[in-house]
Amino acid sequence: MSGDGWSRRRFVGVLARAAGAAAALPAAACGGPSEPDGPSEPDGPSPTATGPGASEGASGRQRESSGPRRLLFGTYTSAEGGGTGVGLAEYDPGTGRITGRGVLAEMDDPSYVAVHPDGRTLYAVNERADGAVTAVRLSDRRVLGSRSTGGAAPCHLSVHPGGRWLLSANYGSGSVAVHPIDASGALGERTGLVTHSAPPPGPGQQGPHAHQVLTAPDGGHVLAVDLGTDTVYTYRLDEDAGTLAEVSRARTRPGAGPRHLAFHPGGRHAYLANEVDNTVAVCAYDPGTGRLSVGEAQSTGAEPGPGSGTNYPAQFLVTSDGAYAFLANRGHDSITRYAVEARGARLRFLGTVPVGGDFPRQIAFSPDGGLLFAANQRSGTVSVFRVSGEGGELRLAGEPFASPVAVCALPL
């Protein structure tokens, strides 16, 4: 099954679920969730939004506070067996053991979540045909309201490092939205919306599919990864008006289906996961211009066997010291390990590790970088690995934790 075919089915599924769920939802609720309809299900990244690096999975090695820490889960509420909102749990930073704590806040299809740099507010996409983003105050779990993204099936969001703007990617309509964040953490009305109307869709695609939006480490540029147009767009954010102005485009090879980008901490290289053709690419990045240059396609090391389908790589993480990178492989149910060489300019394949679940859609580091969490969508579980600073080894930390239709795990 090609990624493009999956993408089409996924968006059609979103619209169908939206129609079916609309009658049962309050008038303020949005449409319906999306699932892999081509490998392109909104996902993304590492959900922590504590800075340009951390927002897309850079592992930090700061000292953990003692005692359990919060762990939040994104899910599809309208999928069979799905959750009822943003899931809540605690984890032990030493052992990785997870203990369920119910639901942080009920809402529709919060498939991806991120936290404000000040740690006080959670933001979630509502991945429905009439897309929205929702803010939740973490201290008392109060929902601060939702705002329309102006597009369909938002699948990824991130907070600009300054903490004043929320960026979100609408998968279904191929657009990127900007919302202001006030002093309380609540969202204002949308100030910006750009749609990827060019170049034309890649082979087999019916339109643009924005899958991720993040701020580069230089803080001056916003990049949007679009699976449908085989393009990574670079924008400059007007921090006064909250609007985006395009400055450059980087094309992948036709049919690659770029899904997720993660920067090296040096800020001059990034790694791109191409979900449709099962490849990755090292990209060069110019902080001065925001221009990204996509390198040659490389293997994920997760080649599916006969009859096992396509791999659909999902997301990259890069350690804070820039020594190792990890890639989630959904079809292969594994995590690829890479050594990062030449100051970020080269990835060397080290091997794959079974994820201990089915369809790892998203991976994230704990704040100290000692643990890696994998949200396994089809098995409804979250696997936890200990990350070794020596050799980039991954070792499972106990049995996977059961979480309904787990599509995003955010350790705080």
Can you give the pLDDT at residue 46?
34
192-204 pLDDT, tens digit per residue, is 999 999 999 999 8
Residue 10 has pLDDT above 80, yes or no: no
14-65 confidence digits (pLDDT tens): 444 433 332 222 222 222 333 333 445 444 333 333 333 333 444 444 445 5
**Which pLDDT band, with edges at 50, 70 and 90, does 308 fall under?**
low
Closest alpha carbon to 318 in 105, 54, 70: 54
Is-cis flag, bond preceding 154, omega within 30? no
Residue 303: the pLDDT is 80
Instruction: Give pLDDT tens digits for 159-177.
Output: 999 999 999 999 999 999 9
CB within 8 Å of 289: residues ≥ 6 apart? 247, 248
- ∠ CA 157-280-383, nearest 5°, is 60
Give the DSSP letter of residue 201. Answer: -
Report the C-alpha gap between 128 and 346 in whole angstroms. Answer: 38
Query: In a 3-state reduction of DSSP, which class is residue 246?
Result: strand
Range of lowest pLDDT (5-14, 100-109, 271-280): 5-14
**Inter-residue contact 231 to 256 (CB < 8 Å):** no
Q: How far apart are CA 55 and CA 47, in angstroms?
A: 6
* Structure tokens, 372: 């890696």
Using 50, 70 and 90 to split pLDDT, how confident is the model at 317? very high
pLDDT of 38 reads 45
List the structure tokens of 210: 């924005």
Which pLDDT does position 390 carry in this prediction? 85
User: Residues 391-401: pLDDT tens digits?
Assistant: 899 999 989 99
Give the pLDDT confidence of 320-357 residue by residue, as tens digits: 999 999 999 999 999 999 999 999 999 999 999 999 99
In the chain, pLDDT over 90 holds for what percent of residues?
81
Query: Does residue 86 register a pLDDT over 80?
Result: yes
Instruction: Name the pLDDT band for 389 (thresholds 50, 70, 90).
Output: confident
Are residues 245 and 176 in contact, defined by beta-carbon separation less than 8 angstroms? Answer: no
pLDDT at 310: 85
d(CA 137, CA 350): 41
What is d(CA 177, CA 166) in angstroms, rounded to the nearest whole number? 8
Query: Ramachandran region of residue 289, left (φ > 0), alpha (ψ -120 to 50) or beta?
Result: alpha
Note if the pTM is more than 0.85.
yes
- In the predicted model, what is the mean pLDDT of residues 359-369? 97
Which of left, alpha, beta for 314 (phi over 0: left; psi -120 to 50: alpha)? alpha
Residue 306: pLDDT band by 50, 70, 90 thresholds?
Answer: low
pLDDT score, position 170: 98
Looking at residue 37, what is its pLDDT? 39
Render pLDDT for 261-300 as a digit per residue (tens, 0 to 9). Answer: 999 999 999 999 999 999 999 999 999 999 999 999 999 9
DSSP secondary structure letters along 296-334: EEEE-S----TTS----EEEEEEETTSSEEEEEETTTTE
Residue-wise pLDDT for 123-162, tens only, equals: 999 999 999 999 999 999 999 999 999 999 999 999 999 9
Which residue in 412, 411, 404 sits closest to 75, CA to CA?
404
Q: In this structure, which amino acid lies at residue 38?
A: G
Cis peptide before 33 (omega within 30 of 0): no
